[in-house]
Amino acid sequence: MTVRVVLVDDQPLIRKGLRVLIADAPDLEVVGEAGDGAEAVRVVTELAPDIVVMDIRMPGVDGIEATRRITAAGSATQVIVLTTFDDDDYVYGALRAGAGGFLVKDMALESILDAIRVVAAGEALLAPGVTRRLIAEFAARPGPAATTPARTSDDSVGVVTAREREVLTLVGRGLSNAEIAADLSISIATAKAHVARLFTKLDARDRVQLVIIAYEAGLVAPSS
């Protein structure tokens, strides 16, 4: 099945470069583009793509607000934020807005394609090192910096089983389903089933939200 992608960036050259890159991938297809957040919301509403590659810093409606509008509408579209990361003060807000993953602008081109495929498949995009940095960002920006209220507490995590808590902790550390299965000596299918139940029980839209939940419940610390 072809993954349908919309590219959002206020720099036409970046959109063109990504379009050329994706054109060489037989399983990916660029179905639309937008130069700002407001246009991105319109395009996503019209085309219902699988993935949006969203820049954060844009004039007018920025990537965070556009992401919030897309996810708040109940869209099945996953948003991958395109960021410089080291310098970007908006990563925390993008997570809170519902972003499903992150691409770094200077990462290898093939890695960008792989990241799109991974998020489209519902798997973990965040490598453990990146996850640790995101968690550190959460720790540095408590409470008022959030664009949505905290989704959980240790009490609400109490609805999960002991095994699901273990799985949630590993998701919070950035492990994929295959890595979770290996760590817990269970099958990949069983790991996927545990993650699916965590989505339902914790009302999480995607794995990035599970990372937030794991941090807020104290299951993962910045030094993990």
| Residues 115 and 159 reside in one and the same domain | no
| Residues 114 and 159 reside in one and the same domain | no
Q: List pLDDT tens digits, range 47-63.
A: 999 999 999 889 899 99
The Cα–Cα gap between 86 and 172 comes to: 20
pLDDT at residue 198 above 90? yes
More confident call, 34 vs 107: 34
CATH classification of the domain holding 158: 1.10.10.10
Q: Based on the structure, what is the number of domains in the chain?
A: 2
| Residues 148 and 64 reside in one and the same domain | no
Domain final position from 70, 93, 121: 121
Over residues 200-205, mean pLDDT: 86
Assess contact for 77 and 34: CB atoms under 8 A: no
The pLDDT, as a whole number, for residue 11 is 92
| Residues 22 and 60 reside in one and the same domain | yes
Q: Give the closest residue to 132 by CA, choosing from 166, 167, 176, 173.
A: 173
| Residues 167 and 66 reside in one and the same domain | no
Assess contact for 202 and 157: CB atoms under 8 A: yes
Q: What percent of the chain has pLDDT over 90?
A: 42
Domain final position from 90, 121, 152: 121
The pLDDT, as a whole number, for residue 145 is 37
CATH classification of the domain holding 93: 3.40.50.2300
